Amino acid sequence: KQEVTQIPAALSVPEGENLVLNCSFTDSAIYNLQWFRQDPGKGLTSLLLIQSSQREQTSGRLNASLDKSSGRSTLYIAASQPGDSATYLCAVNGYGQNFVFGPGTRLSVLP
């Protein structure tokens, strides 16, 4: 059974810092890995999707990497802003299977 963990559970940084969020999964036979953002009282918004054949994906100040063999992914946020404050969740799925979500990292970027 696939399990997804995320470290740290919460993170507080001053504005402008670069930061890394970590995601680990127990079964390396994944099809996709996806990073989501969740604002308080809102649903999830997809940030980046990495297919199993890819090593990383970039969108603006966000860069996500995937190391299937070690069961890890990182989300790098450059030059953080207060508007980046949210909970970030990663999720993985196997081929033809539904996503399994991690518990998320709650990020606070202080002005």
Partner 1 sequence: EAGVAQSPRYKIIEKRQSVAFWCNPISGHATLYWYQQILGQGPKLLIQFQNNGVVDDSQLPKDRFSAERLKGVDSTLKIQPAKLEDSAVYLCASRIDRDVYTFGSGTRLTVV
- Which residue ranges make up the site for partner 1 (CB under 8 A)? 4, 32, 34, 41-46, 49, 89, 91, 93, 98-104
The token pair that represents 9 in the structure block: 């559970």
Kindly tell me which of 29 and 79 has the beta carbon lying closer to partner 1.
29
Kindly tell me which of 15 and 27 has the beta carbon lying closer to partner 1.
27
How near is the Cβ of 16 to partner 1 at its closest, in Å? Answer: 28
How near is the Cβ of 29 to partner 1 at its closest, in Å? Answer: 16
Kindly tell me which of 92 and 109 has the beta carbon lying closer to partner 1.
92
Q: How many residues does the chain have?
A: 111
Kindly tell me which of 15 and 107 has the beta carbon lying closer to partner 1.
107
How near is the Cβ of 87 to partner 1 at its closest, in Å? Answer: 9
CA distance 83 to 72: 26
CA angle 47, 54, 108 (to 5 degrees): 30
How near is the Cβ of 79 to partner 1 at its closest, in Å? Answer: 27
Query: 60: which DSSP letter?
Result: T
CA distance 98 to 70: 21
Residue 106's Cβ-count burial label (10 Å; 0-12, 13-18, 19+) is middle
